């Protein structure tokens, strides 16, 4: 629940940071802070690396670079509440990718969940649609697609590496990828280098890196070894709710009736997914736990 709350709140806080310092600068600070925290933990544990670095590089490009980069860019054009609800579609995307790429089995309840959530997303995205908001929603969905694709990659790597190793290298390479991007962004003036006046927005981005990324991952890593995967999965489905509540109460965003209905359909679709809650009586396999622990929103994140 702690992890779900941190990831849900992170979307709304990211909207605040992006409005003050820009999308690329927000991403740079978020990922840099998370990478620093995770690598401090890595250096204390000092696990032996077992996965080729090129795999971690690809994972880092998918998430955080594509996942959070697209999300932050989308937040420049769309609301945090809309983004939080659309981001909840990761469960749907992971299911579809699992069927397409690793031939996972699917049942009628899962198909029903996909259909209902997709209808909700269409209604949410189409409510009071403008070109600017449409681009923002598309970028948010692109970010969700990147995060979902990273789940497939993690599922192939988790058998050979610990969750901490996966996450530290993932964010480490992600941060390295943002450095040349920021050199171009700041040198061209696309986004100004933040100064003292932007300290609250910088602090918000750093808070996301620490709580939303680094500590959120570590909390989920701990929880997944203590509870059934099904219970953990149900908790992750609360991420959109946390995001919407913070967006409405803190940022003062308003939700029209079509958006409320669309968001409700997304949540219903997500909760239609079957979870084996009876798994409490059996131990969680190490591989499964590592896969689930390494994804935020990952549904992060």
Position 29 scores a pLDDT of 98
- Residues of the chain with pLDDT > 70, as a percent, come to 82
Q: Where residue 276 falls among pLDDT bands split at 50, 70, 90?
A: low
- The tokens describing 239, both together, are 């991420």
Position 223 scores a pLDDT of 62
Cβ contacts of residue 88 below 8 Å, gap of 6+?
117, 237, 239, 240, 266, 267, 270, 299
Position 80 scores a pLDDT of 92
Position 108 scores a pLDDT of 84
Residue 102 has pLDDT above 80, yes or no: no
- The tokens describing 241, both together, are 């709710």
Cα torsion 252, 12, 22, 143 to 10°: value is: -130
Closest CA to 45 of 158, 154, 163: 163
Largest CA distance in the chain: 58
Position 295 scores a pLDDT of 42
Distance CA 29, CA 106 (A): 39
- The tokens describing 105, both together, are 């089995």
pLDDT tens track for 161-173: 888 888 899 999 9
Enumerate the domain spans of the chain.
Answer: 2-293
Residue 231 has pLDDT above 80, yes or no: no
Position 192 scores a pLDDT of 95
Half-sphere exposure of 202 (CA within 13 A, CB side): 8
Distance CA 207, CA 199 (A): 12
- The tokens describing 252, both together, are 């003062």
The answer to whether the CB of 124 falls within 8 A of the CB of 85 is yes
Position 17 scores a pLDDT of 97
Distance CA 226, CA 207 (A): 26
The answer to whether the CB of 26 falls within 8 A of the CB of 72 is yes
What number is the average pLDDT over the span 115-140?
A: 82
Distance CA 16, CA 12 (A): 7
Distance CA 67, CA 51 (A): 22
Residue 130's alpha-carbon distances to 126, 140, 180, 252, in angstroms, are 9, 15, 33, 20
pLDDT tens track for 54-83: 999 999 999 999 999 999 999 999 999 889
Q: Where residue 289 falls among pLDDT bands split at 50, 70, 90?
A: very low
Highest mean pLDDT among 43-47, 206-210, 231-235: 206-210
């Amino acid at each position: 629940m702690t992890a779900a709350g941190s990831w849900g709140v992170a979307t709304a806080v990211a909207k605040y940071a992006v409005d003050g310092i820009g999308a690329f600068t927000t991403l740079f600070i978020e990922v840099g802070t998370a990478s620093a925290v995770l690598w401090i933990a890595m250096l204390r544990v000092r696990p032996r690396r077992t996965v080729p670095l090129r795999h971690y590089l690809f994972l880092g490009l998918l998430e955080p670079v594509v996942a959070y980069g697209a999300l932050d860019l989308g937040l420049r054009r769309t609301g945090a509440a809309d983004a939080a609800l659309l981001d909840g579609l990761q469960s749907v995307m992971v299911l579809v990718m699992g069927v397409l790429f690793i031939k996972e089995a699917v049942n009628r309840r899962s198909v029903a969940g996909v259909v209902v959530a997709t209808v909700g997303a269409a209604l949410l995205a189409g409510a009071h649609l403008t070109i600017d908001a449409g681009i923002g929603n598309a970028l948010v969905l692109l970010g969700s697609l990147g995060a979902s694709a990273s789940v497939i990659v993690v599922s192939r790597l988790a058998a050979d590496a610990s969750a901490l190793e996966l996450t530290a290298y993932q964010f480490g390479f992600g941060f390295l990828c943002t450095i040349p991007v920021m050199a171009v962004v700041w040198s061209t003036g696309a986004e100004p280098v933040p100064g003292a006046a932007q300290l609250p927005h910088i602090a918000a981005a750093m808070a996301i890196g620490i709580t939303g990324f680094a500590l959120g991952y570590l909390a989920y890593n701990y929880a997944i070894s203590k509870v059934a995967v099904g219970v953990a999965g149900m908790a992750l489905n609360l991420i959109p709710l946390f995001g919407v509540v913070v967006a409405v109460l803190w940022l003062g965003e308003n939700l029209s009736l079509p958006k409320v209905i669309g968001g409700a359909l997304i949540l219903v679709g997500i909760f239609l997914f079957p979870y084996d809650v009876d798994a409490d009586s059996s131990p969680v396999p190490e591989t499964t736990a590592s896969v689930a622990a390494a994804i935020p929103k990952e549904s992060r994140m």
